[in-house]
Amino acid sequence: MTKPVVIVGAGHAGVQAAAALREEKYAGRIVLVGDELHVPYHRPPLSKAYLKGALGRDSLALRGAAYYGNQGIETLFGDRVISIDRGARKVELASNRELEYEHLILAVGARARPVPFAGTDLGGVVTLRNLDDADILKRELDAARHVVVVGAGFIGLEFAATARGAGKDVTIVEVAPRVMGRAVSPQTSNFFADAHRAFGAELRLNVGVEKIEGNAGRARAVHLTDGSVLSADLVLLGTGVVAEDRLARDSGLVCEDGLVVNARLVTSDPDISAIGDCSFHPNVWQGGEVRLESVQNATDQARVVAKRLAGRPVDYSSLPWFWSDQGDLKLQIAGLLVDSDKVVVRGEIARRAFSVFCFSGDRLRCVESVNRGGDHMAARRIIGDNIALSPAEARDPSFDLKAHATRHMRERA
């Protein structure tokens, strides 16, 4: 039997890698290994629609259960790779099975960032990384009265809005001076801080957690570093993630903030690729190496690896884009907030529909849109195709962004 391409990780990146290999007419064996028993599923809804009950399990699947067999993709769900023998080109699974590989794709994602305080093992203290976590969180949320969210990133704020929509008392604790501080401009950050206060949440910024106090094995209070104490029967730890690189490090692969790869997503071992949240890759939009956590990055990197294995290699150069749904607010981001020194607001912040255009000199680097999907789609084309746009044009409400992007694309065709 021929050696397969073995894909470790059955999230967005891993499933897309398997699908893209078949789309690229790769005829060899493909084995997809995932440590969860569930059919691979969409993760973004877990903090929002799934928790609200607006989306059921059946609607979460990335592909129908029959897809994998129909495409000749072998699946090993509910199993885990525990070691890589790079010399023999094989992996060992927790089930004691061994798999030889022609090429290995690591799509292992990220894990919750460790926190430096006690009490995280108490009942009612949860993280949200997978479907099982979401099921626990849903049960806990139904019974909770006082919710504390530690961390004001995307996941924390999405969950906070969901909890407030369910009528819970919510406090958001963030050690940084503003929400989503590493991801968005001060203008967008300040808007979302005010929005969450308007939702009814309390924000505690510039303060950390000292410990979580329990009673009878369950969380009852969160002690903050400023001496204050918050009542809590549910605590979500939304303090971010780190690359799941332990398997890679144990096998001797070069890692920094994730698995170091080149522009074609090859690790320090030419027989191993890394994609998605775990890959530390050169990014033309960042101007250096970066690790990105997004569905776009995961799926686009998967397609690049599939092309290379099918004999049509290309460099990874996709424009990063992201989104976050918080209550009735949809945040969409095109590009990366790099070296921005000039900001233009289009639309009306007071009407909760606006975009923040972030320039480095006269070069547009990033657009953050709130409830303005048209701006977002135009920005992805303008930034992605390096179409010139001046701050004055961005500021002018009569300037048609979509027509501008379309015109320049036609001129280049």
Cα distance from N-terminal residue to C-terminal residue, the chain: 47
Q: What is the pTM of this model?
A: 0.96
Q: Using CA atoms, how far apart are residues 356 and 337, in angstroms rounded to an integer?
A: 11
Domain 5-111+242-309 has CATH 3.40.50.300: no
Asked if residues 264 and 306 have their Cβ atoms less than 8 Å apart, the reply is: no
Between the CA atoms of 400, 404, 407 and 413, what dihedral angle is there, to the nearest 10 degrees?
-150
CATH superfamily of 125-239: FAD/NAD(P)-binding domain (3.50.50.60)
Q: Give the architecture (CATH level 2) of 328-412.
A: 2-Layer Sandwich (3.30)
Q: Label residue 340 by pLDDT band (50, 70, 90).
A: confident
Asked if residues 28 and 124 have their Cβ atoms less than 8 Å apart, the reply is: no
Contacts of 390 (CB under 8 A, 6+ apart): 362
Residue 299 pLDDT exceeds 80: yes
Residue 413 pLDDT exceeds 80: no
For the segment 169-226, what is each residue's pLDDT rounded down to a tens digit? 999 999 999 999 999 999 999 999 999 999 999 999 999 999 999 999 999 999 999 9
User: Which tokens go with 34?
Assistant: 């995932």
Percent of the chain surpassing pLDDT 90: 95
Instruction: Spell out the domain ranges in the chain.
Output: 5-111+242-309, 125-239, 328-412
Contacts of 268 (CB under 8 A, 6+ apart): 253, 254, 260
Percent of the chain surpassing pLDDT 70: 99
Token pair 């010399």 is at which residue?
A: 87
Q: Label residue 339 by pLDDT band (50, 70, 90).
A: confident
The answer to whether the 5-111+242-309 and 125-239 domains have the same CATH topology is: yes
For the segment 243-274, what is each residue's pLDDT rounded down to a tens digit? 999 999 999 999 999 999 999 999 999 999 99
Residue 412 pLDDT exceeds 70: no
Question: Dihedral sign, CA of 72, 73, 79, 85?
Answer: positive
User: Which tokens go with 167?
Assistant: 């009528």
Q: Label residue 70 by pLDDT band (50, 70, 90).
A: very high
Q: Label residue 347 by pLDDT band (50, 70, 90).
A: very high
User: Which tokens go with 118?
Assistant: 């006690």
Q: What integer is the mean pLDDT of 333-353?
A: 94
Q: Are strands 229-231 and 218-224 parallel, antiparallel or unpaired?
A: antiparallel
Q: Using CA atoms, how far apart are residues 207 and 61, in angstroms rounded to an integer?
A: 38
For the segment 135-170, what is each residue's pLDDT rounded down to a tens digit? 999 999 999 999 999 999 999 999 999 999 999 999
Half-sphere exposure of residue 411: CA atoms within 13 angstroms, side-chain side: 8
Residue 409 pLDDT exceeds 90: no
> Which of 15-24, 285-294, 349-358, 402-411 shows the lowest per-residue confidence on average (mean pLDDT)?
402-411
Residue 1 pLDDT exceeds 70: no
